[in-house]
Amino acid sequence: MELIKDLPEVFEDFAEQRKNSFLAVKKIKEAGKPVVGVFCTYLPQELPAAMGAAVVGLCSTSDETVADAEKDLPRNLCPLIKSSYGFAKTDKCPFFYFSDLIVGETTCDGKKKMYEYLGEFKPVYVMQLPNTQNEDGYEMYRKEIIRFKEKLEEHFQVEITEESIREAIHQKNEERKALKGLYQLMRLDPLPMKGSDLFHVLYGSTFKFDKEQTIAELKAIKQKVEKEYAEGKYLEKAPRILITGSPIGGGAFKVVNLIEENGGAVVAFENCTGAKSTEELVDEEEPDVYKALAERYLNIGCSCMSPNPNRFELLGKMIEEYKADAVIEVVLTACHTYNVETFGVKRFVTEQHGIPYMAVETDYSNGDVGQLNTRIAAFLEML
């Protein structure tokens, strides 16, 4: 297996910041480290980590390449799927470009059908994800995880030992604890920091390759925030908003900015870029590492699961822990599973927790910022 080490032909056309990202990944590749690109949170990152690969998230959040994607994909498809496909097709994203293997899972319909086309021009491997969290589901996912391990071994000509998986599990758990330690500071009232600032740290940490350094940095940030809080540095009291729904970041992050601009405080993210992928640890005591991974990962409460009790459980727990005054759900346009679930989430939030709820459907463009601004301002006025 030859690692991809050359820059794309169109390299000179890129803006400075993107050039730097390309060069950063190139450096990793030159050090002989393979890159595995992943999409959803169901992927057990411990396996590529166990073979010393850098793991990068490929879910794209900019509308820059949506038009390129629409040459092949339908317009009324989720922007995350279109954007990701577009970045892969145009080689405009360093992480896509340098990924030696791209791994998807059969999560939502849009993504799994997109992977079929993506596989025509990129090295794609798709894990079969069960859509129910029952005994058969866990057993099936355990087998899929073993198959994925074998795929990695075959593709990269390496051996992945149980010992190395255990080490990776431990390290990933340490990273989860560090991330959790930081975002749990948002339980404080008044808040120690802005939700948007917190999010950028959480999101940014997924693009760092030296995990030990990342863990140390996260702990240092936590200590700094705690120290400043003790010295009386905190934000003004404001309505506490919990964010849930589709993956958020990049283009869709406008919702969080609008909440903060209109005087709201974002206290927590239940989304897969927030607590969903971090809250639960992998059981390090379980003798069967594959079983431990299968249980931890399949437990994630994404709306592609049916039924999806774990999402409601986590949401309810977070509403209490973060003393949320209201919940705002961000649904990406044409994300059917989250959109359908809004009906149940609204009932859950308003009836069982007695706090207001609003769902907004949006994409990565700026066309609806005026409308969103009015809706979010009106929602905050209502609180």
What's the closest the beta carbon of residue 243 comes to other proteins, in angstroms?
19
| Angle, vertex CA 212, rays to CA 36 and CA 55, nearest 5 | 10
Q: Between 135-156 and 289-298, two packed helices, what is the crossing angle to 10 degrees?
A: 120
Q: By C-beta, is 22 or 379 nearer to other proteins?
A: 379
> How many Cβ atoms from other residues are within 10 Å of residue 5's Cβ?
11
Q: By C-beta, is 44 or 251 nearer to other proteins?
A: 251
Q: Check residue 367 for interaction with other proteins (CB under 8 A).
A: yes
Single-letter residue type at 265: A
Q: Check residue 377 for interaction with other proteins (CB under 8 A).
A: yes
The full length of the chain comes to 383
SS3 state at 264: coil
Q: By C-beta, is 275 or 359 nearer to other proteins?
A: 359
Specify burial of residue 315 (Cβ count, 10 A radius: 0-12, 13-18, 19+): buried
What's the closest the beta carbon of residue 255 comes to other proteins, in angstroms?
13
| Angle, vertex CA 290, rays to CA 216 and CA 246, nearest 5 | 65
What are the beta bridge partners of residue 332? Answer: 362
* Total of chain residues touching other proteins, rule CB under 8 A: 13
Binding mask 322-361 for other proteins (x = CB under 8 A): ----------------------------------x-----
Stretch that binds other proteins, among 47-55, 90-98, 126-134, 362-370 (CB under 8 A): 362-370
Q: By C-beta, is 274 or 356 nearer to other proteins?
A: 356
Stretch that binds other proteins, among 105-113, 164-172, 229-237, 374-382 (CB under 8 A): 374-382
CB 249 within 8 A of CB 269: no
Q: By C-beta, is 307 or 367 nearer to other proteins?
A: 367
CB 184 within 8 A of CB 175: no
What's the closest the beta carbon of residue 342 comes to other proteins, in angstroms?
10
Q: Check residue 369 for interaction with other proteins (CB under 8 A).
A: no
What's the closest the beta carbon of residue 74 comes to other proteins, in angstroms?
17
Q: By C-beta, is 201 or 355 nearer to other proteins?
A: 355
Question: Please, what is the end-to-end C-alpha distance for the chain in angstroms?
Answer: 58
Q: Check residue 301 for interaction with other proteins (CB under 8 A).
A: no
**Residue 155, C-beta contacts closer than 8 angstroms, at least 6 positions apart:** 1, 100, 101, 123, 125
d(CA 249, CA 146): 31
Q: Check residue 185 for interaction with other proteins (CB under 8 A).
A: no
Which strand (E) or helix (H) includes residue 358? strand 357-362
Q: By C-beta, is 161 or 371 nearer to other proteins?
A: 371
What is the contact surface with other proteins in residues (CB under 8 A)?
A: 356, 367-368, 370-372, 374-375, 377-379, 381-382
